[in-house]
C-alpha cells in the first residue's frame, strides 16, 4: 500500500503506522484520516499482521484536526458530517480491529489526536509526551471518542477538568491517572514499543482479539450478560489451534508457539 500522509509497513507480524505530517505536528487532514482508516482496515485483513503499532513522526503524536485545512472550507461546513465520515470511522475501525493496537505516544496528542491515542489498546508514552483536550480553546466540545474513552479511563472529574481547561496533561500525570500503561524515556520509546509489539505478535491472536471484543462490549453489559458473552466467546477460543498448543506446551513444560489461529 502506498500512502502520502502516513507510513505503513509490515514486518515480523507487526504493522507499523506512522502519522507523517510532522510540519503540522501530524494534524489530520482528510487524506490522512482516510489513509489511516485504510491502513487499519488492511491490517485487519492481513493474516500476517498480529499486532499494530501507531506513532507519530517528529515531536508530536498528533495535534488533531488540521485547523487551517478545516477553516479553508468556509462557514457552512457541517462538523457533524466531517466527524461521521472521518474520525468516527477511524475510531470504530480501531476498536473493531480484533488485534492489539499499541499506541507509541511520542509527543503531544491533542484534540482528535487524543481520541486516536485513546482508541489504542496499550499506550506507552514518551516522558516528553502529553495529552490535551484542545477543543474548548476553539469553542468546541470534545469529540472523536474522547467523551467515551476518557471518563472510563480517568473518571468524570478529571476528564471534565481536561475538557474545561484544555491544558496539557503530562505523561507522568497520565500514568498516575491511568491514561497510559507505561512512561519511558523518549529515546527508548521506539525500542520498547517494538519489543512490546513483537511480543504481542507472537501471542494467541484469536484470543487477544476476542478478549478485546469481550472487554469493549462488556462496558455496556450487566454482569449476567457479560458472563454469558464470555462463555460464548470462550467456546470459540476453546476450539482454536492456539488453545490446543497452549495446553500441550504447558503439559510438555515448554514455551508455546502460537500461530494466531
91 lies in the binding site for ligand LHQ (CB under 6 A): no
Site size with ligand LHQ, rule: CB under 6 A = 24
Report, in Å, the least distance between residue 256 CB and ligand LHQ. 42
* Contact indicator for 51, 100 with CB cutoff of 8 Å: yes
Which parts of 131-160 interact with ligand LHQ (CB under 6 A)?
Answer: 134-135, 137-138, 140, 143-144
Catalytically active residues, by annotation: 88, 143
Report, in Å, the least distance between residue 163 CB and ligand LHQ. 12
C-alpha cell recorded at residue 30: 482528510
In the list 19, 27, 33, 57, the residue contacting ligand LHQ (rule: CB under 6 A) is 27
112 lies in the binding site for ligand LHQ (CB under 6 A): yes
Quick one: 143 or 242, whose CB is closer to ligand LHQ? 143
Quick one: 82 or 92, whose CB is closer to ligand LHQ? 82
Q: What is the DSSP string of 116-154?
A: HHHTSSEEEEETT-EEE-GGGGGT----TTHHHHHHHHH
- Euclidean distance between CA atoms 16 and 128, whole angstroms: 21
Instruction: Answer left, alpha or beta for residue 257, where phi above 0 means left and psi between -120 and 50 means alpha.
Output: beta
Among residues 52, 36, 62, the alpha carbon closest in space to that of 129 is found at 62
Among residues 174, 184, 196, the alpha carbon closest in space to that of 126 is found at 184
Residues that bind ligand LHQ (CB under 6 A): 24-25, 27, 63-68, 70, 79, 82-83, 108, 110-112, 134-135, 137-138, 140, 143-144
Amino acid at each position: 500500500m502506498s500512502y502520502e500522509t502516513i507510513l505503513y509497513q509490515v514486518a515480523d507480524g507487526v504493522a507499523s503506522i506512522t502519522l507523517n505530517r510532522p510540519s503540522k505536528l501530524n494534524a489530520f487532514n482528510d487524506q490522512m484520516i482516510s489513509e489511516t482508516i485504510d491502513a487499519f482496515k488492511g491490517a485487519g485483513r492481513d493474516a500476517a499482521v498480529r499486532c499494530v503499532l501507531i506513532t507519530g513522526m517528529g515531536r508530536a503524536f498528533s495535534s488533531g484536526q488540521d485547523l487551517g485545512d478545516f477553516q479553508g472550507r468556509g462557514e457552512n461546513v457541517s462538523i457533524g458530517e466531517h466527524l461521521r465520515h472521518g474520525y468516527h470511522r477511524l475510531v470504530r475501525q480501531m476498536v473493531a480491529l480484533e488485534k492489539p493496537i499499541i499506541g507509541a505516544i511520542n509527543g503531544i496528542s491533542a484534540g482528535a489526536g487524543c481520541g486516536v491515542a485513546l482508541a489504542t489498546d496499550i499506550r506507552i508514552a514518551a516522558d516528553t509526551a502529553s495529552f490535551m483536550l484542545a477543543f474548548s480553546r476553539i469553542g468546541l466540545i470534545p469529540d472523536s471518542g474522547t467523551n467515551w474513552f476518557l471518563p472510563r479511563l480517568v473518571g468524570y472529574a478529571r476528564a471534565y477538568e481536561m475538557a474545561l481547561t484544555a491544558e496539557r496533561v503530562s505523561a507522568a500525570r497520565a500514568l498516575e491517572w491511568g491514561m497510559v500503561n507505561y512512561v519511558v524515556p523518549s529515546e527508548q520509546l521506539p525500542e520498547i514499543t517494538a519489543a512490546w509489539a513483537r511480543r504481542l505478535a507472537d501471542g494467541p491472536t484469536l484470543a487477544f482479539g476476542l478478549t478485546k471484543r469481550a472487554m469493549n462490549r462488556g462496558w455496556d453489559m450487566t454482569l449476567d450478560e457479560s458472563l454469558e458473552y464470555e462463555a460464548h466467546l470462550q467456546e470459540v477460543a476453546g476450539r482454536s489451534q492456539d488453545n490446543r498448543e497452549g495446553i500441550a506446551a504447558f503439559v510438555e513444560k515448554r514455551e508455546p508457539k502460537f500461530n494466531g489461529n
